[in-house]
Structure 1
Amino acid sequence: MPTSARPSLLDSPLLAERPRPRAVAAWPHAHWLAVGTVCLGAFLGQLTASITALVFPALQEGFHASLAAVEWAALGYLLVLVALLAPVGRLSDRVGRKTVYLGGFAVFSLASLGAGLADSLALLVACRVVQAVGGAMLQANSVALVARGVPGAAMRTALGIQAAAQALGLALGPTLGGLLVTHASWRWAFWINVPVGLLGILAGWYLLPRTRPAVPPSRTVAASAPAGATQPGSEDGRFDLPGLLLLAGASTALLLALSAASGLPLPGWAVLALLGASAVLSVALVRQEQRADRPIIAPGLLNTPGIRAGLLLALTGYLLLFCPLVLGPVMLAGAGVPVATAGLVITALPGAFALAATLGGVLLPRGCTDATRCRWGALTATAGLLASAVLPVGPATAVPALLAVGFGLGLLLPANNALVMRAIPAESSAVGGGMLNSVRSLGTALGTALPVLGVHLAGRQVGGRAVLLLLAAVGLLAAALAASAGRTAGRTAEH
């Protein structure tokens, strides 16, 4: 006689998802309401990413801290995001993506409220870490919610709308940050998230479809399965925890070492120890992933044609995207440009990025391949970075240079994402997507740390120009990687 399974915490009524109102569910276009709800989360995540760099100078003044210490308001968020995206995605499969997504809005909003109330830099960084937990709950579920709730014919349009919402958040961040710091306080750069988060909770509660049955299948399957039998899908619960800890440890040690070299008060031997620890943990991570049943970074995928170059291109692309967002306000402030004006100037980069990401296909010649878009985008961004490095610092020269950088990266990054996802086998799409998200977040973290290191070592102008020249070299590397990816894609198409 079969025995019933013991109740699981995941089966708690508190985690049960509520269905949409009947009127909403019956409307033929209800899926677009769900897309709009997901767009709120996409907008919020990118708004936070781009607005934080504008408040660095205000945080330095308010907490009497170094730039190396203040940057951890961004780095702490990014490190937690890298560590949690994969496990939160796995958890969402069991708990329900709607439940986790709504919880993400709640956690993000509460942490944003706390960040704005923080009376010390340590408390602000702690709130940002909690905020990253909410960010991971949102990011790990956004694409899956669109894929589940939108009919196949409308999928590409829905994902394009979501990308446009991300681009809008990225573009508005610098302008809003500059205006809030100038006319209110840096605290409002965090408090502005609260009403958006509350709106997301209300919209998600009523407009997102249920993603988990009212009676979890684990109960019925467990009750009817023979004793000792393996439940279908039970392997999905496994997770490479050692790999996750090694990845988080290696990333944290590397960024701490860069911060220490950038002015964080740590002795020289500690910097060397951190670099050594990062190298050792990286080697251990490679070995762990080679023997893990469900690795976070699948070594087999890295040997698939096009994926290795594509992941490196994603990392360099996001490094090139976020480095100017951090460096630009610092250099403009050193040239005497007001914060509000600097915010408007920096908006040129994400604004051009949004234009190219959404309309690039219309502006380019017909038949232009993704590999060609990557190559042209990398070269255009490189030209803008070289112009920024050699021209005088000021709004008149910065705006056209940043427009070139943003437009080039808006061509490069979406096309590269498409190349990578096409190269990943269908059965490995979840792991491959997680790898792409991880390298994107690592590139963003390095793009935050590198400008601070350059400014600390050589000053705002000289150090800033040196970083821009280095970024131009990275842009040339990205163009070479794009050419390599194009040749690989061509050989794959032939076979």
Structure 2
Amino acid sequence: MSVLVASWRVLTQERARPARLRAWPHAWWLAVATVCFGAFMGQLDASIVTLTYRPLRTGFDTSLAAVQWVSLAYLLTLAAFLIPVGRLADARGRKLLYLYGFVVFTASSAACGLAPTLGMLIAFRVVQGIGAAMLQANSVALVVTSAPEGKTRTALGVQAAAQAVGLALGPTVGGLLVSTWGWRWVFGINVPVGVIAVVAGVFLLPRTRTFTPTSGRDGSGLALLAVATTSGLLGLSAASGLGLPGWAPVALLCVAAGAAVGFVVRERRASAPMLDLALLRARTVSTGLAGALAGYLVLFGPLVLVPIVLTGAGLTELHAGLVLTALPAGFALAATSGERLLPRSWTDRPRAMVGALLCVVALAAMAVAPLTPGWLVASLAALGVALGLFTPANNSLVMRAIPTRTAGTGGGLLNMTRGLGTALGVALVTLALHVRPAGTGLLDGPRTAVLVLLAAAVALLASARMTPRTDDVAHEPAPVADHLV
């Protein structure tokens, strides 16, 4: 019995770092480096999977509408679990949840690489999304609590750089793996990194200093949110050729609308709501979240579109990945060095407006230019720089408008919005390619998809324009590095 009790304590309690390490003045750098493993892998995974679409369609003999759920299942699960997992980490321990997150993420990555059917691959991606939520919900808190006073911004900048590198390398690494070893290694690459991260985290991450007991659970709210988002995207997939009955798209979209209304009603009445709707009353928050959704739609739409266009024209996945790298590379460059690209005296609002305007210009150019590698590299690089200028400024505006006492919830809300925008980018591009296949005239599927992204960029500009000139709530800005890229 004592062995069972001891084993339970080992599994449910955070382990202290070695005393010699805790006494070392620079030990916090090791903790930050450990968190950067998760930051790097999360963004690498986000930008790498779309390179597997063609081999998945061929290997499982299925449609693009079905294959897109390899991305959507992960993104929907991540968005749904970020806020509840963050609350659980505050109550049980951030180090504990972070380490278990890496265990879940690593094990499910291995399972994805071995999946014998598309259905099992999608199921394993759901589990992987849960692990990713456990990582993302805790990363900023671990960085902030590890860094000494006066070093927080430096530590968050390092984490943002790790995310940027992961995002930029994704297309190239994905194209290389698919072209050489096959699509299964796109998931297999996570395994050795995850094992190293778990071992490092046990010894290098600090224990949680303060715990915040949960005031209640909102399972109904979580269920309604999951039904609303999943039904909505299933409706778009049904219209994209998923193989469901003809009445399915309308029925699923009606279910999504009903669940969304139910979610709002539930959150207004719940004693401990998953989402505090009062946060949305501040115009800076509501317009900023709309901008975040549109921004990630614009960012991830091309990650689906470009590989399909280029591989359809006879290029390899490696070539497509190299072309696509221009987008996340431009994003990473601007997101991490935006202070030097625009006048230092500019506040976040004009920075966001300039980035949004450049998004419109870049996509307008892509809409009229040939979708060939040379033109795409130039357009994607410009689009990446534009989004890299817009996103940090927009997210900073949102986080400053949220009271410090609810900064954790606000960060989860921003991450959730980002996930939904990413999922919409995947779904809408797939829908455009299905409704208007390539080669069906001047306004074929790829060109229609670009126009959809252009419309989202216009919405992006409108949201930036509608943002108040002064913050709705004035206080010190909350950490936002986890939302930079």
- Whole-Å Cα distance in 2 between the matches of residues 188 and 109 of structure 1? 13
Say which SS state the counterpart of residue 152 (structure 1) adopts: coil
Q: Out of 357-366 and 408-417, give the one that drifted further.
A: 357-366
What 5-or-longer segments of structure 2 have no aligned partner?
476-485
1:330 to 308, 326, 333: 308
CA apart distance, 1:437: 1.2
Aligned to 1:416: 394
Question: C-alpha deviations, 1:354-412, integer Å up to 9, x for none?
Answer: 00001111121231111111111111122221222211121110001000110000001
Paired position in structure 1 for 2:339: 361
Cα distance in 1 for residues equivalent to 2:109 and 2:473 = 48
Aligned to 1:482: 464
User: How far, CA to CA, are the matches of 1:294 and 1:16 in structure 2?
Assistant: 26
Mapping for residues 92-131 of structure 1, pairs under 5 Å: 92-131=89-128
Q: Is the 8 A contact 1:17 1:212 kept in 2?
A: no
The 3 A distance-change label for structure 1 pair 192 and 291 is: same
Structure 1 residue identity aligned to 2:43: Q
Instruction: Provide the rounded CA distance (Å) in 2 between the counterparts of 1:282 and 1:149.
Output: 38
Q: 1:104 to 1:389 in 2, by over 3 A?
A: same
Kindly state the Cα deviation for residue 92 of structure 1 after the two structures are TM-superposed: 1.3
Q: Which residue of 2 aligns with 1:178?
A: 175
Q: Which residue is 2:353 aligned to?
A: 375
How far has the Cα of 1:292 moved from its partner?
1.5
- Cα distance in structure 2, aligned partners of 1:334 and 1:369: 43
Q: Which residue of 2 aligns with 1:27?
A: 24
Match of 1:133 in 2: 130
In the TM superposition, residue 293 of structure 1 has moved relative to its aligned partner by 2.0
Q: Deviations over 1:137-187 (max 9, x none)?
A: 111110110111112311111111111111111111100111111111100
Correspondence list, 1:300-339, <5 A: 300-339=278-317
Answer whether contact 1:182 1:340 (CA < 8 A) is retained. yes
Give TM-score, length-normalised by structure 1: 0.91
Query: Does the 8 A contact of 2:98 with 2:135 survive in 1?
Result: yes
Describe the superposition over 1:186-213 as per-residue Cα deviations: whole angstroms up to 9, x where unpaired: 0000000001101111111111011268
CA distance in 1, matches of 2:437, 2:364: 19
SS of 2:345 mapped into structure 1: coil
Counterparts of 1:386 and 1:431 in 2: how far apart (Å)? 36
* Equivalent pair of 1:10/1:95 in contact (CA under 8 Å): no
Deviation of the 1:492 alpha carbon = 7.6
Q: 1:289·1:296 contact (CA, 8 Å) conserved in 2? A: yes
The partner residue of 1:277 within 252, 255, 263 is: 255
Distance 2:379 2:231 in 1: 34
Inter-partner Cα distance in structure 1 for 2:100 and 2:384: 33
In structure 2, give the amino acid aligned to 1:93. D
Distance (whole Å) between structure 1 residues aligned to residue 337 and residue 198 of structure 2: 31
Q: Select 2:77's aligned residue among 77, 80, 87.
A: 80
Determine the C-alpha separation between the residues in 1 that align with 2:160 and 2:125: 24
Note the alpha carbon deviations across 1:245-297, whole angstroms, 9 max, x for none. 11111000000000000010111212111011011111111111111222223
Q: Do the aligned residues in 2 keep the contact of 1:305 with 1:488 (CA within 8 Å)? A: no
Letter in 1 for 2:387: L
Within 2, Cα distance between the matches of 1:189 and 1:132? 16
CA contact (8 A) 1:372 1:486 kept: no
Which of 473, 476, 489 does residue 455 from structure 2 map onto? 473
Summarize deviations over 1:406-436 as a string: whole Å, max 9, x none: 0000001111110000000122212222211
Q: Does 1:444 align with 2:432?
A: no
Matches within 5 A, 1:21-60: 21-60=18-57
Match for residue 147 of structure 1?
A: 144
**SS across alignment from 2:244:** coil
Give me the whole-angstrom Cα distance separating, in 1, the residues matched to 2:394 and 2:71.
Answer: 25
Matched, 1:238 2:235: no
Cα distance in 1 for residues equivalent to 2:153 and 2:422: 26
The number of residues matched between the two structures is: 468
In structure 2, how many angstroms separate the alpha carbons of the residues matched to 1:22 and 1:145? 19
Structure 1 portions without partners, runs of 5+: 1-7, 218-232
Residues 81-90 or 251-260, more deviating: 81-90
Contact 1:147 / 1:155 at 8 angstroms: preserved in 2?
A: yes
For residue 387 of structure 1, the aligned residue among 365, 377, 391 is 365
Deviation for aligned residue 1:102? 1.0
Match in the other structure for 2:187: 190
Aligned equivalents of 2:472 and 2:147: distance in 1?
32
Cα distance in 1 for residues equivalent to 2:418 and 2:110 = 27
Q: Do the aligned partners of 2:217 and 2:272 also contact (CA within 8 Å) in 1? A: yes
Q: Which residue of 2 aligns with 1:211?
A: 208
Partner of 2:239: 261
Counterpart for residue 435 of structure 1: 413
Separation of aligned partners in 2, 1:36 and 1:492: 32
The alignment's TM-score, normalised by the length of structure 2, stands at: 0.93
Structure with the greater alpha carbon radius of gyration: 1
Distance in 1, matches of 2:60 and 2:209, equals: 45
Q: Would the aligned equivalents of 1:296 and 1:434 in 2 still touch at CA under 8 Å? A: no
